[in-house]
Structure 1
Amino acid sequence: MTDEGRSRARAVEPEDLSRFVVERLNAGDVDGLVALYEPDAVLALPGGGAATGSSEIRAAYERIVAARPVFTPGKQLPTLRSGDLAMTSVLLGDGAATVEVARRQPDGTWLWVLDQPRVP
């Protein structure tokens, strides 16, 4: 792990992940984006399909940040929790939403397992 990776904030609540993804997308921080997911996580891709696992998620984010888009935070909706699982969602400015499933890690932090970044 790089020094940058060691100093990167970790999600102590599942809702932190949504804030971190916007910050890291805007910073072009692909390593930081991948660090928000479990190694075998699944990220839904625009137009269908999915990126499964760290390598595919990394490739997807490399394509996304290459265009240097600017992302704005949406409105965090209430989190639904069951034990070590949490379903988070954010209402986006255009009326679409995100839906994610996070899992509490052994150290108490949270990582995404499933990420659907856009539900019309």
Structure 2
Amino acid sequence: MKRSLGLMLCLVTTAVPIESQATDSARQIAESNVAQWNAAFAKGNMDGILALYADNALLVQPNGSVAKGAGEIREFWQSLIGQGAYAMDIVDVRSEQDGSIIATARLSDIKTLRSEQPQTIKYHYGGVLYSVLRRQPDGSWKAQVQRWSAGRGI
């Protein structure tokens, strides 16, 4: 009985750090992915943005319409990038049983105020962006599905 209890205690105490490490790893992957998005946004690099999507990705727009394929996804981003400078900020990351990662981000509009010392202000929109990231055969993580929500933010 003591041996069984000791074995169970050992399994429980070693399982917690593994789960924590998986969460940390998922967070690092999501943060790296968002950094790539933000770098592409900042440069208006449409090819860089499209490269962050899996080949058969879907993008669900705030109005509910679905963009499929590089052409439709490109149209969505061209209209958004033309409206200002944006950046994504991770607000939540979840690792799923199937190995995918769900990253929740909020989109911020970035403005630089002109004065003696330039200041940057971020305006957070009410909507959020949910991305299902999947590991690709080359080892990279790309958005398989993205859903933009224009509702209340986090």
- The equivalent residue for 2:85 is 70
Displacement of 1:51 after TM fit?
A: 0.7
Deviations 1:63-111 (CA, angstroms, capped at 9, x unpaired): 22233x1113324313323343111112453443221101111222101
Q: How many percent of aligned residue pairs carry the same amino acid?
A: 24
Q: How does 1:33-112 map to 2 (within 5 A)?
A: 33-67=49-83, 69-92=84-107, 93-112=124-143
Aligned partner of 2:22 in structure 1 is none
Q: Deviations over 1:36-59 (max 9, x none)?
A: 001110112232201111221122
TM-score, normalised by the number of residues in structure 2: 0.60
Larger-Rg structure: 2
Larger RCO, structures 1/2 (Cα 8 Å, 6+ apart):
1
**Corresponding residue for residue 33 of structure 2:** 17
Count how many residue pairs are aligned between Structure 1 and Structure 2: 108
How far apart, CA to CA, are the structure 2 residues paired with 1:112 and 1:75?
A: 14
Stretches of structure 1 that go unaligned for 5 or more consecutive residues are 1-11
Task: Give the gaps of 5 or more residues in structure 2.
Answer: 1-27, 108-123
Q: Distance in 2 between matches of 1:73 and 1:103?
A: 19
More strand by share: 2
Structure with the bigger percentage of helix: 2
Q: Taking structure 1 as the reference length, what is the TM-score of the superposition?
A: 0.74
Moved over 4 A (4+): none
